[in-house]
Amino acid sequence: MAEIIVPELAESITEGTIAQWLKQPGDTVEKGEFIVELETDKVNVEVISEEAGVVSELLAAEGDTVQVGQVIAVVGAGSGSTASAPAPAAQSEAKEEVKATEAPKAPVAEETTNEQDRTIASPAARKLAREKGINLSEISPVDPMGRVRVQDVSAHGSAPTTTKAAPASAASATKEDDGRTTREKMSRRRQTIASRLLEVRQNTAMLTTFNEIDMTNVMALRSRKKDKFFEDHDVRLGFMSFFTKAVVAALKKYPYVNSQIDGTDIVKNNFYDIGIAVSTEGGLVVPIVRDADRKNFSEIEANIGELAKKARDNKLALSDMSGGSFTITNGGVFGSLMSTPILNGTQVGILGMHTIQKRPVAIGNEIEIRPMMYVALSYDHRVIDGKDSVGFLKTVKELLENPEDLLLES
């Protein structure tokens, strides 16, 4: 017999949430095979079984908070079925149903649970479906690959249903608001994001300064070079590498923007680890492009692409997101025209990119239509004065409006 224990996750993380059981009681598991997915404050972690055998017992349900070192499952000797048995919650429901009706209803519950287990769904979608009493197999997902997401569960839940009774919490909420609102518990990561953003707002003297960039030249350069760039490097040339290079050059010119406060000291970073904010289903994450000053355009683009894919697949490691010195966030991908980004952790600066919009601008004594982008620098005024903040943003603007200079300055 072997126990599945919540492993050491990171120095600052002591607990996690069961996001999804990948094996159920009765399932065969091989040594080194993933058995459960844990959601922590920062990343999702898949836990392996150290022994081969059959899952005999699950000691925690999806959605439960578990501590590092806690036993959450037991793997026994022997061989079992690869088909999933009911999860603990489903088993309990089946037992109660048998007691209430004095009839053997368990096989029906097992069949329903097996159908749900075979449905491809995100952990968040499974959790919401369980809370709303919705059978995942009855949901028609929008995703062409058939993956059920939170939006699909919410849309299905808003339609009239006559099958399962909702859990007590959902039933009481429905009685209270007559179905006009939907209550959804924050995921662990969303709770962490919320508390940290609030902490930044309360504990920093955050200000934001704005400028606008004429994207004509960088767009023209990218248009001329993108095909050859892809042919040579097998990676697409986007705008993020230009902005990353411009930011690195500006940080070298204004080193206090690349610093942090430690007590009564200002610690200036002599490295350039640039965080790139990525939106995922579970919330915003900020993986780090390490030593961006030492990387060329293709290396930066490849690095960003790899990190973004890992973020979307919940495969980011804690090491992918720790220790950044400055952050870039791009609200423009969602159509944002202007915003005031919030500082990331202990960093004292963050650059916000926005959507490119054609606008009339004065060029000399003429009015021309140019592709313009508003950019915003949020900064901690305790460290950075107006001169440095404005100068930093002006440097980024000038380099992007004259992108050939990036080869010399970055």
The set of catalytic residues is: 381, 385
Take residue 158 and report the two structure tokens written for it: 């808003």
3-class SS of residue 357? strand
Other beta carbons within 10 angstroms of residue 88's beta carbon come to 17
Burial of 152 per CB tally in 10 Å (0-12, 13-18, 19+): buried
Query: Tokens for 102?
Result: 């004095």
Task: Output phi, psi for 147, to 5 deg.
Answer: -80, 125
DSSP 255: G
Question: Which pair of structure tokens corresponds to residue 171?
Answer: 């039933």
43 and 321 in contact (C-beta within 8 Å)?
yes
Rounded to whole angstroms, the Cα distance separating 214 from 370 reads 7
- 89 sits in which H/E element: helix 88-101
Under 8 Å between Cβ of 280 and 307: no
φ, ψ dihedrals at 141, nearest 5°: -75, 155
What is d(CA 120, CA 132) in angstroms, rounded to the nearest whole number?
18
Structure tokens at 124: 């968040």
DSSP result, 92-154: HHHHHHHHHHTS--HHHHHHHHHHHHHS-B-HHHHHHHHHHT--GGG---SSTT--B-HHHHH
C-alpha dist (Å) from residue 49 to 87, 148, 156, 330: 18, 27, 35, 39
Cα distances from 249 to residues 32, 106, 208, 391, 410, in angstroms, run: 45, 65, 20, 12, 5
138 Cβ neighbours under 8 A, 6+ residues apart? 156, 163
Instruction: Please report where in the chains the tokens 């992918």 appear, as a residue.
Output: 320
